[in-house]
Structure 1
Amino acid sequence: MNGEKLGEMVTFKYLGATLSKDGTITTEVRIRIVNANAAVVKDVDKQLQQLPN
């Protein structure tokens, strides 16, 4: 930009997928696991709140 070099990225998002410099999918899989875990925790919390005291 304006003659400036941009820094080299290790990973970046493209069309919803995380791409890594070395071409592996390890980062993408880890991100998906974290997101799935967060969704499960959110669902369990919601279910627990609906239980009678």
Structure 2
Amino acid sequence: MVERPVSRRRRVARTAIVAVAIFCLVVMALGMGDVVRAAFEAPPPVKPYDPMPRW
């Protein structure tokens, strides 16, 4: 089985695409971690509306 040589430009482009894809996956994983954590946290207490805030 003879493999044809891959051009340097194509190899660099493929490496860049893979690096960007991995970076996007990491960013999405970090973002999803925040979403999942927020789903299990208790909501913050609601303050009653005060039309005249105290200074």
TM-score by length of 2: 0.52
Q: Which portions of structure 1, spanning 4 or more consecutive aligned residues, are displaced by more than 2 angstroms?
A: none
State yes or no: 1:38 paired with 2:28: yes
Indicate the percent of aligned positions where both proteins have the same amino acid. 3
Q: Which amino acid aligns with 2:40?
A: Q
Structure 2: 5+ residue stretches without partners? 1-8, 44-55
Residue 38 of structure 1 deviates from its aligned partner by 1.0
Structure whose residues are more often helix by fraction: 2
For the aligned residue pairs, the C-alpha RMSD in angstroms reads 1.3
Q: Which amino acid aligns with 1:40?
A: L
- Which residue of structure 1 aligns with residue 11 of structure 2? 23
Q: Which structure would you say has the larger Rg?
A: 2
Residues of 1 paired with 2:30 and 2:38: CA distance? 12
Aligned residue pairs, count: 33
Structure with the greater relative contact order (CA < 8 A, sep ≥ 6): 1 or 2?
Answer: 1
TM-score by length of 1: 0.54
